[in-house]
Chains A and B, each alone.
Chain A
């Protein structure tokens, strides 16, 4: 029983984990991207469509990352060169993503593919209770955990990471010291959006290997909220994503057990908990223990630099 719930928690949390990591990278560069929900859908459809036509899951993953990355780049370009309002541009991206995937994905509804298989890690998977749920997962789960550490390392232990954080904290200072702020923001938006797309593709290629219109069901918004909860740290994002995976897992478990509580009420839980967690995180931030990038959400005009 515990083993089943841990397994379901990880599987339900992985898609949100990818999206949260993506948004952390983008916000570290000083840009808010509210298009995550749309990007996840674009990734989910691009991944599913490519795998359906080529029978290759790997190509599907690449297509998802690339398609969402390109769509995210629209947001990046509008928020740098065109000095657009980041909230409006992000909402537009979500609307565009929700719409375009519904239109283009119509022929994919009801089609099936063979999704990612579980890979059993020898010895470790034999640990009682937790072994099978932690070490018998598909490759995308392992990759997501690896990325938590890789992105952390990148942000805090490399020059590029330091530069990226400087761009997010103080683009004027970054510009003066010769860092190309726009380039950093664009690359961060491309990579971060690609990761959100991968989060979507996890749903359509591994979690439920299907394409369903609007299949992300608000996970993109939960990811945006989790970035605040994790105070822009990848390792805390891991806990956040699994916390929500856990709530969905328990909620689904309740439904499967035929509880008398309405399914609709149970389905509200992830959204309600996200709001509660957001309140707690915000109170902490307001008390001053924040690592929110200083220039997050602000338009930076290079012509204004002094």
Chain B
């Protein structure tokens, strides 16, 4: 008796979603082994994570607060993936968005909520979009590997924010902590339900809808899909590939930059060190799991939001570093690759 791998027609629809869920489950199992090594009972730990993240109204609002930046960054990465552009610089683009928003919030003197928020938003988009436009232009003009450039630029963006909060923008009343002055009330988004849930969440849903319409329902959305899957065909069809690479990277960076804007205006109300616990890196997984679909991004972002809230509580109850999130995310991607393989292959027994 021997086993052999045979190709089969790819599964679709509900089976495909089940495979994705199965890979998350397998990642949970393997993470459980690591938790056992750290003397933590995985079953009770996972139960705690579930209760903390969705077991109460407060938990759900906290999960939605974490879901918000993830949706923006996830959409950003997904839009670039659509054109087979590997923008893994969402983290840096988020930081540049936060920089842009702070630039307005700290220097514009106005009591008008509308003026303040609008300008913060535009400034965030401008700087975050520009940050992604650089690797986009390098890719379009010189064909420079965008994966490495976007990633390296993350380090530069984070150092840039550090430079400001340790230097020119340091709050004189901040007891020498590396934080900027607190934003005025005009620079804050409204909050709901007596919780930290802010209007940024609804903006995220709106963005998802817009991205869905643009990507799925417009000619331009179709064009960038063609460039991604078949650049030669796109060229013969007269589509300007270079222009579109630059444009898509700008939009991709701008979406991640809104995450920076919404985190500062909605939650943190000042520029500080480590404004993101890795939302930009999580966005890569979200975009991959969601298969580049905008609605998929919203759902997977919620699942990842649960993971962030859950692991916050793991840190409090079990002193487990938040980095456990990365372990889990790496394992999800590994098991997803295996799962994808078995969508197109099956094991059959052959008699010798």
Contacts and interface: CB of A to CB of B under 8 A. Distances in A.
A103 B321 contact: yes
A99 B163 contact: no
Question: Which of B144, B167, B281, B325 has the most A CB atoms < 10 Å from its CB?
Answer: B144
A104 B35 CA distance: 10
Contact of B38 (A89, A103, A267): A103
B35 to A, nearest CB: 9
A188 B166 CA distance: 44
Interface residues of B, number: 48
B281 A95 contact: yes
B345 to A, nearest CB: 9
B333 interface: yes
Interface residues of A, number: 48
Interface stretch (A177-185, A201-209, A274-282): A274-282
B159 A267 contact: yes
A217 B151 CA distance: 12
A221 B138 CA distance: 18
A35 B348 CA distance: 33
Contacts of B331: 92, 96
B34 interface: yes
A272 B156 CA distance: 8
Interface stretch (B101-109, B264-272, B336-344): B336-344
**Interface SS, B side:** helix
Contacts of A267: 159
Contact of B327 (A100, A218, A268): A100
B277 to A, nearest CB: 12
A90 to B, nearest CB: 9
B337 A103 contact: no
Nearest to A272: B156
A218 B89 CA distance: 13
Interface in A250-306: 262, 264-265, 267-268, 271-272, 274-275, 278-279, 282-283, 286, 303
A176 B142 CA distance: 36
Contacts of B144: 278-279, 282
Given A275-B149, A278-B144, A278-B149, A99 B325 contact: yes
A213 B274 CA distance: 15
A70 interface: no
A190 B76 CA distance: 34
Interface string A86-125: 0111011111111110111010000000000000000000
Contact of B160 (A83, A98, A225, A268): A268
B148 A225 contact: yes
A82 interface: yes
B341 to A, nearest CB: 4
B152 A265 contact: no
A278 B153 CA distance: 13
B334 interface: yes
Contact of A278 (B148, B332, B334, B340): B148
A34 interface: yes
A97 B330 CA distance: 8
A260 to B, nearest CB: 11
A108 B86 CA distance: 35
A134 interface: no
Contacts of B333: 88-89, 91-92, 95
Contacts of B334: 74, 78, 89, 92, 96
Given A264-B166, A271-B155, A99 B145 contact: no
Given A91-B333, A274-B152, A275-B152, A99 B324 contact: yes
A131 interface: no
Interface in A151-206: none
Nearest to A95: B330
Given A275-B153, A279-B144, A78 B338 contact: yes
B337 A99 contact: no
A224 interface: yes
A70 B338 CA distance: 18
Contacts of A303: 7
Contact of B288 (A88, A97, A103, A217): A88
A100 B30 CA distance: 12
Contacts of A103: 34, 38, 320-321, 323-324, 327
Contact of A264 (B37, B162, B336): B162
Contacts of B159: 264-265, 267-268
B88 interface: yes
Contacts of A274: 148, 152
A85 interface: yes
Nearest to A282: B144
B327 A271 contact: no
A50 to B, nearest CB: 16
B298 to A, nearest CB: 21
Contacts of B138: 279
A88 B38 CA distance: 28
A100 B153 CA distance: 24
Interface string B154-176: 01100110110011000000000
A93 B331 CA distance: 8
A270 to B, nearest CB: 9
Contacts of A97: 330
Contact of B337 (A88, A94, A102): A88
A95 B91 CA distance: 14
A228 interface: yes
B195 interface: no
Contacts of A218: 152, 155
A87 B7 contact: no
The 3 closest A-B pairs by CB, nearest first: A96-B330, A99-B326, A102-B323
24 contacts: A78-B337, A84-B341, A85-B337, A88-B337, A96-B326, A96-B331, A97-B330, A99-B327, A99-B329, A99-B330, A100-B326, A102-B323, A103-B324, A104-B38, A224-B148, A228-B145, A262-B163, A262-B166, A264-B160, A271-B153, A282-B143, A283-B142, A286-B142, A303-B7
